[in-house]
Structure 1
Amino acid sequence: MGVFDHLISDIRQILFPNAEQDAVPSMDGAFSPNDRLDACEQLGPPLPGADDIAVAADGTLYVSAGRDVIRLAGPAHGERSVVASFDGAAGGLAVHPDGRLLVCVAGRGLAAVHGGAGGAPQVQWLEAADGRPLHGLTGVTAGPDGRIFATVGSSRHPAERWLHDLMEKGRSGYLVGCDADLGAASILLDGLAFPGGVAVAPDKQSLWFTESWSHRVLKAPLAASSRLGPVDVVMRNLPGYPARLAPDGEGGLLLALVGVRTHLIEFVLREDDYRREMMANIPEAYWIGPALGGSHDCLEPMQIGSVKALGIQKPWAPPRSYGLLARIDTDGEVIESWHSRAGGHVHGVTAACETPAGVIVVSKGNGRLVIAREKSL
């Protein structure tokens, strides 16, 4: 960065101090911190790499973990069987109205899986839209008419390199739509700041999706054609990084946030020279940025008050990793939230789904599934 670039940057900071992003909001009201996630019951043994969860019309649960899609069955969903395996990591999941399982596969694209019970599953692939690859898919959903919508977090990085995309202030994500048979795929929206998930609203009239790095949730009317209506911002300046969405069974949506924003991370994102030097010279594990899960590494960056006393991290300290799930209504108002604070064990929440037994939450940071059986506060 030359002298002239520094001068321009300084002038912009003086004239437009809040141009890049809004101030980090405090977590209060329905977002007030609590320990509800840590109080949840764990479902079965740990599931390393757990990423997304989907529920079929008959109540069958599917979870993506590592390169596998796993079916959960039996009492308390304790029976696990592999439905499909892939060469890349299995991420976003959805069940199509016709019963097919839609899977976002890293490095390849969107897989539509038929069968799998008692025989080898048949897989149909969608690998590109408008000539652009679908290597970095993050989420997928199906509309009531069978059309399929998927989000690509970044055209520069695969989904697992999300931290690189954040530190580069990436805005290369896009929203893709296609027919039920995976044909006529096209890019509906481009230039998105890492869209982390997509879902059809409970009333089936609009499509909701997130922009993680812009800390907001958006929606667009579902048109009769293959296009979308005008996009509206439903939630803005969230305290965390929104990821996947799912209907909550009560007319609203469940919103997973993979981490929370801190003043230190926001400061690093504004300081371009420092951030570039950090990325060039320090291993990724020690970057000052959000993480899916905590570690006990003594080199892990301390974030101001985020200090450990007698080996235990203060629960009120500014966290590097965090667990956060919110229930929102169709106006974008937060109804309730579940938290796992610093020192908790349900961090890096990437997805959730409503079941008759309660809300099942995916903690990718700690590789486990938990269930919140209690209703709204």
Structure 2
Amino acid sequence: MFETLKRARDRFFGDGDASVAVPIFDGAFRPNNLLEAAPVFAEMPGLEDLAVSTDGVLHAARGNDVLRFDDAGGSTVVAQFDAPVQALASFIDGGFAVAAGGRIIFEGGTRHGESFDKVQGKSLICVNALQATSGGKLLISDGSQSRPYAQWSHDLLEHGHSGRVLEYDPATRQSRELAHGLAYCHGVCGDGTRVLASQSWAHNLLALDNATHVPVLNALPGYPARISPAQGGGFWLSLFAGRTQLLEFVLREHDFRRKMMNTMEPHYWIAPALSSGHDFQEPLQGGSVRQMGILKPWAPPRSYGLVVRLGNDLRPRYSLHSRVGGKHHGIVSAVEQGAYLMVLSKGASRILRLPLADLNGSNSHDTHS
């Protein structure tokens, strides 16, 4: 009874779960043009995920292939699969774990050719991130049990909360579920002492242990995706889109949302996008329009590019941006390769390369416009 009254009160006043307020880009999230101005290392359609092998070579998932890149950005196909590759992770034995076609397949290394498609008796539906731990186990983000990977916007608009974090031991072929009921898990990373998982629809990071799932970073201004370790401790967190008040409002208007999904093509839904500005029929997203050929400075982001550097204490240190009107949006992966940060902009079909020395030296607060 109390919860029913509270929901009615929040809806009347626009508070609590009924609030449509979104965090602003300020402090460690203060906008800059570092992603927009970043050198382009490679450009090709279909790029999906990045991983760095034990010999320091960059690999990428693209379509049904796994690519190996040389230092100049040239690529070679090193493995092909029967379905699109959704996630990629490198093992210390030189092999890879690949998520494709509802299965996780081991390519190269001591487990070459092994695969599995279920954990704890449940099929792998939406594997979108993998990470190999220092102990040789595999962490798995299975984003949704109700929607496949390509239908992530359906899961958002349906208020999906069926994501799982899983752990698989290739040596024993044993697996366990670390967490379930997540609001679209889209990234997982362990550093030996803890396992972090991103919840895209809840806009937060969780720390997982055997007893609790504790939010350690809340109220992010966008939708978090994959996580990777950083030199000297801490992490890189990719955010594939920014939040808007319009979408927060639509998520609370159930009749409108259902009618929109039933009568319109998904590309035109009021939902986050990996890129925008290519079709005049896109939803305007409030004030996101041009006036006399100039994008309004207050335009909310239908798509956005954002990477956040987290310290070992999980506090945001600084961030890298491609702002509204930019090209390098839809950031789904950021990994360190030697002296560089390699960033995958799925919206632009590009891999960007930024010198770590420049980022860590300036803390990215001195480059604004």
What is aligned with 1:92? 87
Q: 1:68 corresponds to which letter in structure 2?
A: D
Q: For the aligned residues, what is the CA RMSD?
A: 2.3
Tell me the TM-score normalised to structure 2 length. Answer: 0.90
How many residues are treated as equivalent by the alignment? 356
- Structure 2 counterpart of 1:215: 203
1:182-215 Cα distance to aligned partner (Å, 9 max, x none): 71223221100000011112xx211111010000
CA contact (8 A) 1:126 1:182 kept: no
Distance 1:12 1:359 in 2: 43
Equivalent position amino acid for 1:80 in 2 = S
Cα deviation for residue 180 of structure 1 reads: 2.2
- Match of residue 131 from structure 1: 121
TM superposition score normalised by structure 1: 0.89
Q: Which residue of 1 aligns with 2:367?
A: none
Answering whether residue 344 of structure 2 is matched by residue 362 of structure 1, we say yes
Contact 1:196 1:209 in 2 (8 A): yes
Q: 1: distance between equivalents of 2:76 and 2:19? A: 44
Alignment-derived partner of residue 32 in structure 2: 34
Q: Which residue of structure 2 aligns with residue 224 of structure 1?
A: none
Please show how residues 236-247 of structure 1 align to structure 2 within 5 Å: 236-247=218-229
Pairing partner for 1:67 from 64, 68, 75:
64
Distance 1:315 1:372 in 2: 27
Give unpaired runs (5+ residues) of structure 1: 1-5, 222-227
Instruction: Report whether the alignment pairs 1:177 with 2:167.
Output: yes
| Aligned pair partner of 2:97 in 78, 96, 102 | 102
User: Residues of 1 paired with 2:124 and 2:207: CA distance?
Assistant: 22
2:180 to 180, 187, 190: 190
Q: Distance in 2 between matches of 1:229 and 1:200?
A: 17
Deviation at 1:235, TM superposition (A): 0.2
SS of residue paired to 1:163: helix
**Structure 2 residue aligned with 1:113, among 99, 107, 111?**
107
1:3 alignment counterpart: none
Question: How many Å separate the matches in 1 of 2:254 and 2:7?
Answer: 10
8 Å Cα contact 2:179-2:213 kept in structure 1: no
Per-residue Cα deviation, 1:306-346 (whole angstroms, up to 9, x for no partner): 11245553464111000000100122211111111111110
1:344 aligns with 326
Stretches of 4+ aligned residues off by more than 6 angstroms: 6-9
Assess if the C-alpha contact under 8 Å between 1:316 and 1:342 holds in 2: no
- Following superposition of structure 1 onto structure 2, how do residues 40-51 of structure 1 map, counting pairs within 5 Å? 40-44=38-42, 46-51=43-48
Q: Counterparts of 2:46 and 2:298 in 1: how far apart (Å)?
A: 27
Q: Percent identity?
A: 38
